[in-house]
A = this chain, B = another copy of it.
Amino acid sequence: MRIGIDIGGTTVTVGMLDDNSVINKETIKTYPKDGADKVIKRINLTIQSVIDQSGACLSDISHIGIGCAGMLDRSRGTIIYSNNFGWKNVLLKDKIQKVFPLPVYLENDANCAALGEYVAGTGKDYNSMVMVTFGTGIGGGIIFDDKLFRGNNGFSSIIGHLLLVTDGELCTCGRKGCWEAYGSVNALVKDAGELADQNPDSMLKKLSDRDGELNGKNIFEAIRQNDKAACELFSKFIHYMAEGVTDIVHVFNPQSIIIGGGISEQGEIILEPLRELVLKYTYCGATTMPVIKTASLGNEAGIVGAANLDKYHD
């Protein structure tokens, strides 16, 4: 038995796993502004609760793996800095080991999600994969030779900050023209809002009024119903998706690219035009064309990946 934890800006999920099956799990709100100490105390209480519910003893559990957003020092098990949480130099591993004397492994959340899909999801049929997660931003996790690719000091795979337009839209990172300023779900929602305002008769505008906001779900509702404004938006969005995915093909030549995030629920609606454009844009065409599929573990990918960190920690 092993424990996988996924610490995000909004929620924390703690899961008990037997091999890669989730036996039981609990999700709590993060409330990062309470400060690291309080949040970690709640995480420890949740770990205890998950252990109790599973019927396991501490001696049945081999390790705890944690996926967490932010800049991490994996060897020391600390969060150097997390802009999502507003935390600095948090001794996460120590504070958990104080309560649970087990091996604790720490890894960034995007790598954990990729690892989850690789060991137990869509990626398990492929030798190499790049997971691309579309959400607030665009995150990435890269696996080659049965290893997480981490670069020189763990800061590789920042694929959302590949360039789409030099001197383009200002990105949250301060650079201008990053892929995620155009191709993230946040960017899609922003563009949809502008288009809805410009087209008061569009379904986009109606759904925005109905739901009080536009979001990934209702934008795709409009796309599926062939709303003209929404379809225009969609073809631009798929173009942006394909440009970034093509860059990934060019530099990594992976066997598979796995699309994650809520948007992956749209399946072939996205995959079909995406594959077509990537094939068109890619330098070596069919020779390098990877399999492009959607992720299959949903939001459990993070805890599954985290629970596997014992074997993928270097």
Residues of chain A at the chain B interface (Cβ within 8 Å): 71, 127-128, 140, 144, 149-159, 161-166, 173, 175, 182, 239-240, 243-244, 246-248, 250-255, 281, 283-284, 287-288, 290
A151 touches B254 (CB 8 A): yes
Q: Check if B283 sits within 8 Å of A253, measured CB to CB.
A: no
Q: Which residues of B contact A255 (CB under 8 A)?
A: 152
30 A-B pairs (CB sep. < 8 Å): A128-B151, A128-B152, A144-B149, A150-B253, A151-B252, A152-B253, A152-B254, A153-B253, A153-B288, A155-B253, A155-B283, A155-B284, A157-B253, A158-B250, A158-B253, A158-B283, A161-B283, A162-B163, A162-B247, A163-B164, A163-B244, A163-B247, A166-B182, A166-B243, A173-B283, A175-B246, A175-B281, A175-B283, A247-B247, A248-B251
Q: CB < 8 Å: which of B149, B164, B250 contacts A161?
A: B250
CA distance A248 to B253 in the complex (A): 14
Which B residues are in CB contact (< 8 Å) with A239? Answer: 166
Which residues of chain B have C-beta atoms less than 8 A from A127's C-beta?
A: 152
B residues within 8 A CB of A248?
Answer: 251
Contacts of A251 in B (CB 8 A): 140, 156-159, 162, 248, 251-252
Query: Assembly of this chain: how many copies?
Result: 2
Known A152-B128, A164-B166; judge A159-B250 contact (CB<8 A).
yes
A277 to chain B: closest CB distance in Å? 11
Q: Output the nearest chain B residue to A157 by Cβ-Cβ distance.
A: B251
Q: Are B290 and A152 in contact (CB under 8 A)?
A: yes
Indicate which residue in B165, B166, B252, B253 contacts A154 across the interface (CB closer than 8 Å): B253
- Additional A-B contacts beyond A144-B149, A152-B255, A165-B166 (20; CB < 8 A): A71-B284, A128-B151, A144-B151, A151-B252, A152-B254, A152-B288, A155-B253, A155-B283, A155-B288, A156-B250, A158-B284, A162-B247, A162-B251, A163-B247, A165-B165, A166-B182, A166-B240, A175-B281, A247-B247, A248-B251
A161: chain B residues at CB < 8 Å are: 250, 283
- Residue of B150, B153, B240, B244 near A287 (CB, 8 A) is B153
Set B140, B246, B290: member contacting A163, Cβ < 8 A = B246
